[in-house]
Chains A and B, each alone.
Chain A
Amino acid sequence: MFNTLSERLGSILNRLTGRGALSEADVDTALREVRRAMLEADVALDVVRAFTEKVKAGAIGVEVIKSVTPGQLVVKIVHDQLVEMLGAQGDTIDLNAPAPVPIMMVGLQGSGKTTTTGKLAKRLTEQGRRKVLMASLDIYRPAAMEQLAVLGRQIGVETLPIVAGQPPAQIAQRALQAGRLGGYDVVLLDTAGRTTLDEAMMTEAAEVKRAVNPHEVLLVADSLTGQDAVNLARAFDRRVGLTGIVLTRIDGDGRGGAALSMRAVTGKPIKLMGTGERMDALEDFHPSRIADRILGMGDIVSLVEKAAANIDAERAARTAERMRKGQFDLNDLRDQFVGMQQMGGMSGLMGMLPGVAKMKNQLAAANLDERLLKRQMAAIDSMTPQERKHPDILKASRKKRIASGAGVKVEDINRMLKMHRQMSDMMKMMGSGKRGAMAGLAGMLGLGGGAAMPSPEQMAELAKKMPGGGLPSTMPSLPPTFPGGPLPGLGGFPGLGKKK
Chain B
Amino acid sequence: MNDSTPKQSPQQSWWQRLTGGLKRTSTAIGAAISDLVTRGPLTPERIEEIEDMLIRADLGVDVAARIAAVMAKGRYQDVKESQTILADEIEKILAPVAVPLTIGDGKPFVILVVGVNGSGKTTTIGKLAAKFHDEGRSVMLCAGDTFRAAAIDQLTIWAGRSGASVLARAPGADAAGLAYDALVEAKGEEIDVLLVDTAGRLQNKASLMDELEKMVRVMKKLDPAAPHVVLLVLDATVGQNALSQVEEFRKVAGVTGLVMTKLDGTARGGILVAIAAKHKLPVHFIGVGEGIDDLAAFTAKDFARAIAGLE
Q: Which residues of B contact A195 (CB under 8 A)?
A: 3, 120, 262, 264-265, 290
Main secondary structure of the interface of A (DSSP, over half): loop
Known: A147-B149, A253-B241. A141 touches B3 (CB 8 A): yes
* Residue interface bits B52-66, CB-to-A below 8 A is 1, else 0: 100111101100000
Known: A36-B61, A147-B149, A257-B239. A228 touches B3 (CB 8 A): no
The answer to whether B238 touches A225, judged by C-beta atoms less than 8 angstroms apart, is: yes
User: CB within 8 A of A109: which of B58, B118, B202, B268?
Assistant: B118
A111 vs B117: C-alpha distance when bound (angstroms): 9
* Residue interface bits A24-66, CB-to-B below 8 A is 1, else 0: 0000000000001001111001000100000000000000000
- Residue ID in chain A nearest B65 by CB atoms: A36
- Residue ID in chain B nearest A44 by CB atoms: B56
Q: Which residues of A contact B4 (CB under 8 A)?
A: 141-142
- Residue ID in chain A nearest B242 by CB atoms: A226
Asked if A197 lies at the interface with its beta carbon under 8 angstroms from chain B, I say yes
Asked if A252 lies at the interface with its beta carbon under 8 angstroms from chain B, I say yes
User: CB within 8 A of A231: which of B24, B52, B61?
Assistant: B24
Asked if A127 lies at the interface with its beta carbon under 8 angstroms from chain B, I say no
Q: Which residues of B contact A110 (CB under 8 A)?
A: 1-2, 117-120, 235
A227 vs B60: C-alpha distance when bound (angstroms): 10
A150 vs B5: C-alpha distance when bound (angstroms): 21
Total interface residues in chain B, CB < 8 Å: 44
The answer to whether A40 touches B3, judged by C-beta atoms less than 8 angstroms apart, is: no
Asked if B198 lies at the interface with its beta carbon under 8 angstroms from chain A, I say no
Shortest beta-carbon distance, B16 to chain A, in Å? Answer: 15
The answer to whether A228 touches B268, judged by C-beta atoms less than 8 angstroms apart, is: yes
Interface residues of B in 209-262 (CB under 8 A from A): 235, 237-242, 244, 248, 262
The answer to whether A142 touches B153, judged by C-beta atoms less than 8 angstroms apart, is: yes
The answer to whether A227 touches B56, judged by C-beta atoms less than 8 angstroms apart, is: yes
Asked if B157 lies at the interface with its beta carbon under 8 angstroms from chain A, I say yes
* Residue interface bits B9-43, CB-to-A below 8 A is 1, else 0: 00000000000010010000000000000000000
- Residue ID in chain B nearest A113 by CB atoms: B1
The answer to whether A196 touches B244, judged by C-beta atoms less than 8 angstroms apart, is: no
Asked if A254 lies at the interface with its beta carbon under 8 angstroms from chain B, I say yes
Asked if B77 lies at the interface with its beta carbon under 8 angstroms from chain A, I say no
Known: A227-B58, A253-B204. A142 touches B241 (CB 8 A): no
The answer to whether B241 touches A252, judged by C-beta atoms less than 8 angstroms apart, is: yes
Asked if B267 lies at the interface with its beta carbon under 8 angstroms from chain A, I say yes
Residue among A143, A226, A254 having the largest count of chain B Cβ atoms under 10 Å: A226
A447 vs B45: C-alpha distance when bound (angstroms): 55
Q: Which residues of A contact B154 (CB under 8 A)?
A: 142
User: CB within 8 A of B239: which of A197, A198, A224, A249?
Assistant: A224
Asked if A158 lies at the interface with its beta carbon under 8 angstroms from chain B, I say no
Q: Which residues of B contact A222 (CB under 8 A)?
A: 118, 237
Interface residues of B in 130-185 (CB under 8 A from A): 149-150, 153-154, 157
User: CB within 8 A of B5: which of A39, A142, A229?
Assistant: A142
A109 vs B3: C-alpha distance when bound (angstroms): 8
Interface residues of B in 38-93 (CB under 8 A from A): 52, 55-58, 60-61
The answer to whether B153 touches A226, judged by C-beta atoms less than 8 angstroms apart, is: no
Q: Which residues of B contact A39 (CB under 8 A)?
A: 55, 61, 240
The answer to whether B267 touches A196, judged by C-beta atoms less than 8 angstroms apart, is: yes
Asked if B116 lies at the interface with its beta carbon under 8 angstroms from chain A, I say yes
Q: Which residues of B contact A111 (CB under 8 A)?
A: 118
Asked if A255 lies at the interface with its beta carbon under 8 angstroms from chain B, I say yes
Interface residues of A in 374-404 (CB under 8 A from B): none
The answer to whether B202 touches A227, judged by C-beta atoms less than 8 angstroms apart, is: no
Q: Which residues of B contact A257 (CB under 8 A)?
A: 239-240
Asked if A425 lies at the interface with its beta carbon under 8 angstroms from chain B, I say no
User: CB within 8 A of A254: which of B149, B204, B235, B267?
Assistant: B204
A147 vs B152: C-alpha distance when bound (angstroms): 13
Q: Which residues of B contact A41 (CB under 8 A)?
A: 240
Asked if A258 lies at the interface with its beta carbon under 8 angstroms from chain B, I say yes
The answer to whether B239 touches A227, judged by C-beta atoms less than 8 angstroms apart, is: yes
Asked if B271 lies at the interface with its beta carbon under 8 angstroms from chain A, I say yes
Asked if B124 lies at the interface with its beta carbon under 8 angstroms from chain A, I say no
Known: A195-B262, A226-B237, A231-B266. A140 touches B52 (CB 8 A): no
Asked if A251 lies at the interface with its beta carbon under 8 angstroms from chain B, I say yes
The answer to whether B264 touches A196, judged by C-beta atoms less than 8 angstroms apart, is: yes
A235 vs B150: C-alpha distance when bound (angstroms): 29
A405 vs B164: C-alpha distance when bound (angstroms): 68
Q: Which residues of B contact A108 (CB under 8 A)?
A: 237
The answer to whether A258 touches B239, judged by C-beta atoms less than 8 angstroms apart, is: yes
- Residue ID in chain A nearest B3 by CB atoms: A141
Known: A110-B2, A253-B203. A226 touches B240 (CB 8 A): yes
The answer to whether B240 touches A40, judged by C-beta atoms less than 8 angstroms apart, is: yes
- Residue ID in chain A nearest B201 by CB atoms: A277
Closest 5 pairs (CB-CB, A-B): A196-B265, A226-B239, A110-B118, A42-B239, A253-B204
- List 7 A-B pairs, Cβ < 8 Å: A49-B52, A142-B154, A198-B265, A224-B116, A251-B204, A253-B202, A257-B240
Given A39-B240, A253-B248: 11 more A-B contacts, CB < 8 Å: A40-B61, A109-B1, A110-B118, A195-B290, A196-B266, A226-B268, A227-B57, A228-B268, A232-B266, A252-B204, A257-B239
